[in-house]
Amino acid sequence: MVFNFSDFVDVPKEYMFGGILGALIIGAILFAVIFLVALYVYHSLSWQEIGKKQKYKHSWLAWIPFANISMIFEMGGFHWAWIFLVLIPFAGWIAILIIFIISIWRIFEKEKYPGWFSLSAIIPKVGWILYLIAIGFVAWGKGPKKNFSPEGKSTRRKKRK
């Protein structure tokens, strides 16, 4: 048997298309996995930093699935065990969502940010992006700047000439 290279050059077009399509699918899956891992790392880093700001003693829990939700519940004033509502289909999941939003509202207000930022999580289609932006502001932002005192007078000093 003699090795002939021309036997391998004549590849039918159906196989070429399948190879290109397979490469595109693998590329898309790889991109999706990298994107989701990056989102998880950002989310975990954000909540760990928020936990440190609020002096939560176990802020490393932000990296553990379900434990991070328990951490958010505790920082928001609820007991950690409410996470077990996840075992009750539909009604428990809705209750967890409500407790989650209330907890985030309280956490944001403790950090001097508007609590309604927590409602971004329930906005269809773009809510998750707004939620990630909001926790980024709370985690690494300097806090909202207040230029006025409670009496309504400006607290900024005028520059002397």
Express each pLDDT in 114-138 by its tens digit: 989 899 888 888 999 999 999 999 9
pLDDT of 148 higher than 50: no
How much is the pLDDT for 121?
84
Alpha-carbon distance of 45 to 13, in angstroms, equals: 48
CB-CB contact of 51 with 86 (8 Å): no
Alpha-carbon distance of 21 to 26, in angstroms, equals: 9
Express each pLDDT in 3-31 by its tens digit: 665 556 665 666 666 678 888 999 999 99
Alpha-carbon distance of 108 to 85, in angstroms, equals: 24
Alpha-carbon distance of 116 to 106, in angstroms, equals: 10
- DSSP class of residue 45 equals H
Show the beta-strand stretches assigned E in 5-160: none
Q: 155 or 77: whose pLDDT is higher? A: 77
Q: Which residue has the tokens 């991070």?
A: 68
How much is the pLDDT for 157?
56
How much is the pLDDT for 136?
94
Average pLDDT estimate for 63-85: 94
Region of residue 96 (phi > 0: left; psi between -120 and 50: alpha; otherwise: beta): alpha
Alpha-carbon distance of 152 to 146, in angstroms, equals: 11
